[in-house]
Amino acid sequence: MTRRASALARVLVLLTVPSACSDAVVVDRGKVEIDPPAVYGVWWSEVEDCSGIGGDFDGVRWFAVYGFADGSGILGQWNERREITVRSDVWLDRDVVRHEVLHDLLRGDRLHQRSEWTTCGIDTGVDTG
């Protein structure tokens, strides 16, 4: 197991431990860089195909996080440093990952105004940008 995968495993273990307190501070907890699983490459290709936009899969850094600091309930996030972060309870959710992939192919489009969201049938409600 790689160090990154091991770190993710620790996050996933934490997820299975019942919380001892109800007022835990919500920050970007347990953020770890991960090696993208093979299925991410499959989903990446799907979004390239439906959008007609080629991208650079290897140029993205992927992270999993236990919870985002803003507490908004978002599931994923893309930024201009080409980092994609997904919440660890949905890190293998096709809709969430494909959404962030399209942000990368579009190099943004925070407000989801481009036609590719519809063309690809990608839910625009999973994040805040």
Q: How far is the CB of 71 from Zn ion (least distance, A)?
A: 18
Task: Return the bridge partners of 77, or none.
Answer: 85
Q: Which stretch binds Zn ion (CB under 5 A): 5-13, 55-63, 89-97, 121-129?
A: 121-129
List the interface residues with Zn ion, window 70-109 (CB under 5 A).
Answer: none
Query: Distance between CA 47 and CA 100 in Å, rounded?
Result: 10
- Figure out which of the listed residues 40, 85, 101, 127 binds Zn ion, where binding follows CB under 5 A: 127
CB of 78 closer than 8 Å to CB of 100: yes
> Which among 119, 91, 92 has a CA at the least distance from the CA of 105?
119
Least distance from Zn ion to the Cβ atom of residue 112, Å: 6
Residue 25 Cβ vs Zn ion, minimum distance, rounded to whole Å: 25
Nearest approach, Cβ of residue 129 and Zn ion (Å): 5
- Give whichever of 3 and 110 is closer to Zn ion, judged by the CB atom: 110
Tell me the angle at which helices 94-106 and 38-51 cross, rounded to the nearest 10 degrees.
60
Nearer to Zn ion, 104 or 127 (CB): 127
Contact between residue 81 and residue 51 where contact means Cβ atoms under 8 Å apart: no
Per CB under 5 A, residues contacting Zn ion are 127
